[in-house]
Amino acid sequence: MGDKLRAVLRLLGLYARMDLNWVLQDFKAALIIICAEIINNLTAVSGILLLAVRFGGAGGLSTDEILLMLGFFELSDGLCYMLFGGFNVLHISRRIGRGQVDHMLIQPRPLMVQLLTEGFMPVSGSGGFLIGILLTALAWTRLHLEVTLLRLFLLLLYMLCHILLMLGQSFLLGSAAFRSPVVSEELSTLILDLNGQLGRFPLFGLPRWLLGILYTALPVGLLAYLPSLALLGRVTGAVLALPVCIAAAFMLAAACCFRAGLRRYLQYSCNRYKEMGHRR
Amino acid sequence: MNADHECVVSLAHVTKYFDQSRPVSLLKREHSRIYALNDVSFTLRRGEFAAYAGPNGAGKSTTFKLLAGLLRAQQGQVKIFGADPCVKRIEVMRRTGVLFGNRSELWWDHPVRASFEWKKAVWDIPDDVYRSNVNRLKELLDLKPLWNTFSRELSLGQRMRADLALTLLHAPELVLLDEPTLGLDVLAKRRMIDSLKLANQELGVTLMVTSHDMDDLAEMANRLILINRGRLAFDGSYDGLLQMTGDHRLVRLITSAKSPVPEGLTLLERSGDRYTYRYDGTKIPSPQLFALLAGIPGIRDIQMEPENIETVIAGLYRKWSSETSRGDVSH
């Protein structure tokens, strides 16, 4: 276990260096990409924020509370992107469907270690995370939230849950690429985009059945809305554990499906004899 | 795994098939089973250099994928260094280098150097081994001018050279090369062949290479494994192949007279006063050939040479394809 951890840290260092080199090689182009990502993230939050400013809050949350929710979303999503955004780890269906698993299988490293490290891009992929820090800190200050150990623990825990929920969904749907690459890629991209769009919305006032779906099967409510309510102290008790349970369930399902898919891959390899073919 | 295991590669009665389903009309589908490999057995011993050849769709790439642990056989056993490459993937890959000519392991948006540094970290190559191997490979494959070039800017030949160097970087004991001379110019091909021979002869690396260029294979490898429609068609030396197919040789004559076709020789081509004949060296020994040629008047020049191995194998492929269609496709 210690060896594996050391290997992970060493490889994270390697990919961080490669990312930095990539940025320095063509600094202007890299700067444009990073700025575009920051603008993209600001645009994504501005719609809801402007609505909240115009109407003095939205979805049962005040403007500053909305800002905290948006900040939390950007913080978690930015971290997820920074850790797994590179080389399509977060969009694993693309890796599988385009026959890139072979490249992974010829490396003398466990696939888990490869997947944990290859996507790391702390320099070029940090735009969203930086915006998240900024917005969260701003909201935290404006709301005069006390920094307690519990609140910090919840913040970190829900950030982890956010990442696991994104990875879980991506790998669950992406595993279908072992069987049907094009369909899986389309579906996976759609669901990840949907998470990005709906995850920033406050869900107060929705019918219970819909809220149930958005807290479980399509867990967009667990990405930022419920965690921000928890940070504000608006929810207590068993509900606090819901993001952890759902994230664990998604990861478990994703791990099972990915393993099954990998077994299938060893049986059929590329999709030469497959109906829908695959993209190159 | 035993490091001293003499048998590096072993395939024992390996069968690999793919089931296929195709629409033949709106509602009807046709199911078929394609045998990529059918009861194939062979072994490679340490230090061997084997050429693995066959017509398109013969099962070459499937074999390589089975050996690299990227596929699992339905029947039979595949072993590399005495272990199943699917089960002991990590251990096998530490000692094996794999290069698929139509794919690159180089990092596209980085200089060539970065891919080598990446491999050093991922393969855990010690600093001293890395330095010495990099220097040797840079020299051998003339990589110095490319070292700081972005991989995406390399020509196909340059990419293949860099990819081969990357494959050899961790000093693998077994190297599997699928079409390594693909798209190389004459000089690059020569360099590639020389470096592979060197790796085999001086470092004792076991090599298995596929290529459609039979002359390249004949020059590189001392053993030829031919596969056709998933079945092993030949396994032996090039001399052994010539014995099987006949020791075909060519005679080229330049003669002012209208040349007849001597008995036992086949006229392949005539262009003005130039004639090209083929004959079987096992049936017509040289003294008999000279006697036959002496009977032709007005000869100004004679050239004799063995028939190109590519032509020999092309003849074999033609023979195979004209044979009755195989019985292993079931509908």
Chain B hits for A14, CB-CB cut-off 8 Å, are 117-118, 121-122
First to last CA, chain B: 42
Of all residues in chain A, the one with the smallest CA distance to B89 is A108
Residue A101 domain boundaries: 28-268
**pLDDT score, position B184:** 78
- Is A84 within a domain? yes
**pLDDT score, position B1:** 52
Q: Which of A143-147, A251-255, B230-234 has the lowest mean pLDDT?
A: B230-234
Task: Tell me the pLDDT tens digit for each residue of B65-124.
Answer: 999 999 999 999 999 999 999 999 999 999 999 998 778 899 988 999 999 999 999 999
Task: Measure B42 CA to nearest chain A CA, in Å.
Answer: 21
Considering only residues 166 to 205 of chain B, which have any Cβ-Cβ distance to chain A shorter than 8 Å? Answer: none
Task: Tell me the pLDDT tens digit for each residue of B114-154.
Answer: 999 999 999 999 999 999 999 999 988 889 999 999 999 99
Residue B265 neighbours by CB under 8 Å, 6+ apart: B251, B277, B278, B279, B284, B292
pLDDT grade, residue B327 (50/70/90)?
very low
A280 touches chain B (CB under 8 A): no
Bridge partners, residue B227, by sequence: B232
A14 touches chain B (CB under 8 A): yes
pLDDT grade, residue A278 (50/70/90)?
very low
Domain ranges of chain B: 7-108+169-236, 246-317
**pLDDT score, position A155:** 97
**pLDDT score, position B65:** 92
**pLDDT score, position A272:** 44
Give the pTM: 0.85
Bridge partners, residue B261, by sequence: none
More confident residue, B123 or A60: B123
**pLDDT score, position B259:** 63
- Is A280 within a domain? no
Architecture category of domain B7-108+169-236 in CATH: 3-Layer(aba) Sandwich (3.40)
Task: Measure A20 CA to nearest chain B CA, in Å.
Answer: 11
Q: How many domains does chain A have?
A: 1
Using CB atoms, which residue from B65, B94, B114 is nearest to A21? B114
Residue B4 neighbours by CB under 8 Å, 6+ apart: none
DSSP letters for A29-78: HHHHHHHHHHHHHHHHHHHHHHHHHHHT-BTTB-HHHHHHHHHHHHHHHH
ipTM of the complex: 0.87
Residue A210 confidence (pLDDT) above 50: yes
CB contact under 8 A, A105 and B70: yes
Instruction: Give B247's DSSP letter.
Output: -
Q: How does the average pLDDT of chain B come out, rounded? A: 87
Classify burial at A34, counting beta carbons within 10 Å of its beta carbon; exposed 0-12, middle 13-18, buried 19 or more. Answer: middle
Of all residues in chain B, the one with the smallest CA distance to A8 is B122
Length of chain A counted residue by residue:
280
Task: Tell me the pLDDT tens digit for each residue of B37-74.
Answer: 999 999 999 999 999 998 888 888 899 999 999 999 99
- Is A11 within a domain? no
CA–CA separation, B174 and B6 (whole Å): 12
Q: Which of A174-183, A268-277, B204-213 has the lowest mean pLDDT?
A: A268-277
**pLDDT score, position A249:** 98
CATH of domain B246-317: 3.30.70
Three-state SS at A163: helix
- Kindly state the average pLDDT of the residues A143-166: 96
Chain B hits for A268, CB-CB cut-off 8 Å, are 18
Task: Measure B36 CA to nearest chain A CA, in Å.
Answer: 11
